[in-house]
Amino acid sequence: MSPQSPQRWTRKDLLGIADLSAGEIELILNTADSFAEIGERPIKKVPTLRGKTVINLFFEASTRTRSSFEIAEKRLSADNINFSTSGSALEKGETLVDTAMNLQAMAPDLVVIRHGHPGVPHMLASRIKAGVINAGDGAHEHPTQALLDAYTIRRHKKKIAGLKVAILGDIEHSRVVRSNIHLLHKLGAKVTVGGPRTLMPVAMEKMGVDVSYSLDEAIHGADVIMMLRVQLERQGKMSFPSIREYFQLFGLTTERLKAAKDDVIIMHPGPMNRGVEISSELADGPYSVILEQVTHGVSVRMAVLYLLSGVHEEAM
């Protein structure tokens, strides 16, 4: 289980894609390749992280990401514990720093954290000895999502450099888009973001992307289309008047898809709002790789857990 790559992993934490080099990203993706096969075995378990303790700390509801991490941890034989906001100390008024210090006192090896506020994984990482994996911090970063997206794209397109990727929808509230922009740029893809002006953060072009307010224009010639979930729970009444109107203007439909390349793939980080940002026909259709993303998520997270756990160093 030692991946062949000149790059060595030296970081304690995985806080975001912005900090990573292209070499580090490729190391994770290559490592994920070697883990992917485990998921196809009848006995989906290896002893790699036996004796390592992983805490999954979720301050925001999550089904997909949390299950994906849990499965990845279990397949690697780590001991894992889950904390979520419901009933946790935080709801009793404990500060994040106190929570961090208490976790540290239990000597975990890794902490996977999701929080609604940007910067929380960074704060945790600076306080505790355990490695910290950012599983989403507000609208800031979601590095493992971007990595699994890249893994999925690589599987289909064999490369990332030179691809045209359109990321569409609620850009403002999306951590997925920010991590993906960093990653795709580092690996040489060209990114266009598109969506309603009311959900486009100011100065988006400073992230090095093309910004389009027309779905048709953004999709034109795309190799990859990533639809973002409209975060209905985060919208006031001021971003768009109705779901009906949103779908008419910014929903991905078969008709609109014609502007993309013939071999386009459609991605979505989930959970999907069918009939809001994407039609069911496309979500379930031949261009969709949405469920594959979920499958690859486990391999990519196994790779991240493995690299951050330091066992590859210990074995040397």
Partner 1 sequence: MSKLLIHGGRVIDPSQDLDGVFDLLIEDGEVAKIDGAIKKPKGAEAFDASGRVVSPGLIDIHVHLREPGQEYKETVRTGTMAAAAGGFTAVACMANTEPVNDNRSVTELILSEAEKWGYARVHPIGAISKGLNGEELAEIGEMLRAGAVAVSDDGKPVMNAELMRRALLYAQHFGVAVIQHAEDLTLTGAGVMHEGEWSTKLGLPGIPGAAEDVMVARDIILAEDTAGRYHVAHLSTARSLDMCRRAKAQGLRVTCEVAPHHLILTDEEVAKSGFSTNTKMKPPLRSARDREALVNGLADGTVDCIASDHAPHHADEKDVQFNLAPFGILGLETTLSLCLDRLVRPGILSLPRLVELLSTGPARVLNLPGGTLKTGSPADVTVFDPDEKVTIRAAAFRSRSRNTPFDAWTLRGRPVATFLGGRRVVV
**Which positions lie near partner 1, rule CB under 8 A?**
18, 95-97, 115, 117-120, 122-123, 126, 137-141, 175, 178, 201-204, 206-207
| Maximum separation of any 2 CA atoms in the chain, in Å | 59
Give the count of beta carbons closer than 10 Å to the beta carbon of residue 246: 24
- Tell me how far, at minimum, the Cβ of 271 lies from partner 1, in Å: 19
Report yes or no: 55 and 103 within 8 Å, Cβ to Cβ: yes
Buried/exposed 205-222: b ≥16 CB within 10 Å, e otherwise: eebebebbeebeebbeeb
- Tell me how far, at minimum, the Cβ of 87 lies from partner 1, in Å: 20
Q: Which of 95, 114, 148 is nearest to 15 (CA)?
A: 114
Contacts for 98 with CB less than 8 Å, ≥ 6 apart: 89
> Looking at beta carbons only, is 152 or 179 nearer to partner 1?
179
- Tell me how far, at minimum, the Cβ of 81 lies from partner 1, in Å: 22
CA angle 86, 175, 142 (to 5 degrees): 75
CA 44 to mean position of chain CA atoms: 23
Q: Where are the beta strands (DSSP E) in the chain?
A: 53-58, 79-84, 110-115, 131-137, 164-168, 190-194, 210-212, 224-227, 265-267
Tokens of 142: 């979601």
- Tell me how far, at minimum, the Cβ of 139 lies from partner 1, in Å: 3
Omega cis (within 30) before 143: no
- Tell me how far, at minimum, the Cβ of 66 lies from partner 1, in Å: 20
> Looking at beta carbons only, is 71 or 207 nearer to partner 1?
207
> Looking at beta carbons only, is 56 or 174 nearer to partner 1?
174
Please give the Cα distance from 212 to 193 (Å, whole number): 6
DSSP one-letter code for 8: -
> Looking at beta carbons only, is 137 or 223 nearer to partner 1?
137
- Tell me how far, at minimum, the Cβ of 60 lies from partner 1, in Å: 13
> Looking at beta carbons only, is 103 or 303 nearer to partner 1?
103
Q: Which of 98, 97, 121, 126 is nearest to 111 (CA)?
A: 121
> Looking at beta carbons only, is 128 or 289 nearer to partner 1?
128
Angstrom CA distances, 185 to 152, 163, 174, 181, stand at: 16, 10, 17, 6
- Tell me how far, at minimum, the Cβ of 240 lies from partner 1, in Å: 17
> Looking at beta carbons only, is 178 or 256 nearer to partner 1?
178
> Looking at beta carbons only, is 91 or 284 nearer to partner 1?
91
- Tell me how far, at minimum, the Cβ of 283 lies from partner 1, in Å: 26
